[in-house]
Amino acid sequence: MSAQDIAIVGYAQSPSWERAELTEVQFLFPVIADAIAMANIDRRAIGFTCAGSCDYLSGQTFAFVSNLEAVGAWPPISESHVEMDGAWAMFEAWIALQHGDIDIALAFGSGKSSPGDPAQIYPLQMDPYTLTPLGADPTSLAALQARALLDSGRITEREMAEVAARNRHDAIGNPYAQVSGEVDVGALLATPYVTAPMREHDLPPFSDGACAVIMATAEKAREICENPVWIRGIDHRIEIHQPGMRDLRESPSTATAGRGAGVGDGPVDIAELSVAYTHQEKILKEALGLGDGVKINPSGGPLTANPMMATGLSRIAEAARAIQRGDAKRAVAHATSGQPLQQNLVCVLEGDS
């Protein structure tokens, strides 16, 4: 990777709440403080900050301005904001670190879905002329994708339920998961369709939450962190918007981003993928060329905690945590944006050898 080697030296997540009592900035504040504490740096050592959030989630035209308060932007800081998942904010901060004039950057994502109804808000993400007026919601678009995959024979409804059961099992003991437990696949399959061919367990929970990640250049990382998690590659791509002009069974943008991030350049122990709908695990696994030996979503993934605008960055934090815990040597993290899986970011992380 030609870019200067950069490492994750700190990260933090909030729990994932179905309905947070605190405001977004109030629950973001301790997450940023914890990430800074983990990186054991002074807040002023941060050379660049990038935020990810979405005004529409909280229904306020300048909601992202209040998030600046959680960063403590006084005296003034060098900062920017993307109206996207925190994973893209991390990409922008990772680029800023390659300039050579700063050595520590903070990226974070935060979102509060509980005040609004995502099924009514998210159609605004779609083409304003031909799709928004139909109320084209994320669940329906994911269901079109699931049907296409089922019709192709590459997956069965039972295999979808098995993904849900495995994720909930793996989420047991994960303090950041909102949903967890042992469930019987047969019992799941007996439940009614919500939006056919998907049932309740095929869908993500509604979550409020935040995630922050701190990165440092190689020299600074070695100075402040015993086991930095190296970012070997990040790449992100987008696909055509109109669902009828795409092959929903595939994710070419994930495949391209995976090559760009160098997924295939070495063995992969675990992958934290933004699988918000059970059938998408198969699409993403195959797009990234991940074999059956790769443990997918050991944290439980978005099917057990899905705080919008933070869920993609949370995959990167969970992958970094797994490496630092010694559960993995080399990991892939994936974030997505747009429905379904229209835009995808892939990041390859590696522990110190």
| Subset of residues 52 to 81 that bind other proteins, contact rule: CB under 8 A | 54-56, 58-62, 64-66, 68-70, 72-81
Is residue 340 left, alpha or beta, with left meaning phi > 0 and alpha meaning psi from -120 to 50? beta
Q: Which of residues 262-321 bind other proteins (CB under 8 A)?
A: none
116 is a site residue for other proteins (CB under 8 A): yes
Rounded to a whole number of angstroms, the minimum distance from the CB of residue 305 to other proteins is 18
Judged by CB under 8 A, the residue of 20, 163, 213, 215 near other proteins is 20
**Binder to other proteins among 37, 124, 187, 190 (CB under 8 A)?**
124
Of the candidate residues 91, 108, 230, 277, the single one contacting other proteins (CB under 8 A): 91
251 lines the binding site for other proteins (CB under 8 A): no
CA dihedral 189, 191, 194, 200 (to 10 degrees): -70
Find out whether 91 and 236 touch, Cβ atoms under 8 Å: yes
Cα 18 from Cα 16, distance rounded (Å):
7
Q: Measured on CA atoms in the order 247, 248, 249, 255, is the torsion positive or negative?
A: positive
Q: How far is the CB of 77 from other proteins (least distance, A)?
A: 6
What's the rounded Cα separation, in Å, for the pair 332 and 33? 26
- The β-bridge relationship of strands 208-217 and 79-82 is unpaired
Footprint of other proteins on residues 138-157 (CB under 8 A)? 140-141, 143-148, 151
Report how far residue 257's alpha carbon sits from residue 252's, in angstroms, rounded to the nearest whole number: 8
Please give the size of the binding site for other proteins, defined by CB under 8 A.
109
Contact positions with other proteins (CB under 8 A) in 34-53: 43
Least distance between other proteins and beta carbon 14 (Å): 14
Picking from 177, 163, 187, the residue whose alpha carbon sits closest to that of residue 279 is: 163
191 belongs to the binding site for other proteins (CB under 8 A)? no
User: Among 175, 245, 326, 353, which residue interacts with other proteins (rule: CB under 8 A)?
Assistant: 245
Comparing CB distances to other proteins, the nearer of 235 and 269 is: 235
Q: State the sign of the Cα–Cα–Cα–Cα dihedral 164, 165, 168, 171.
A: negative
Residue 284 Cβ, how far from other proteins at the closest point, in Å? 17
CB of residue 102 to other proteins, shortest distance in Å: 12
Distance in angstroms (rounded) separating the CA atoms of residues 226 and 205 = 35
Task: Give the Å distances, CA to CA, from 317 to 71, 91, 100, 272.
Answer: 19, 14, 24, 9
Site for other proteins in 195-234 (CB under 8 A): 195-198
Quick one: which of 29, 108, 206, 230 contacts other proteins (CB under 8 A)? 29
Window 166 to 185, contacts with other proteins (CB under 8 A): none
Given 127, 162, 327, 352, the residue binding other proteins (CB under 8 A): 127
Q: Which among 279, 250, 272, 266 has a CA at the least distance from the CA of 316?
A: 272
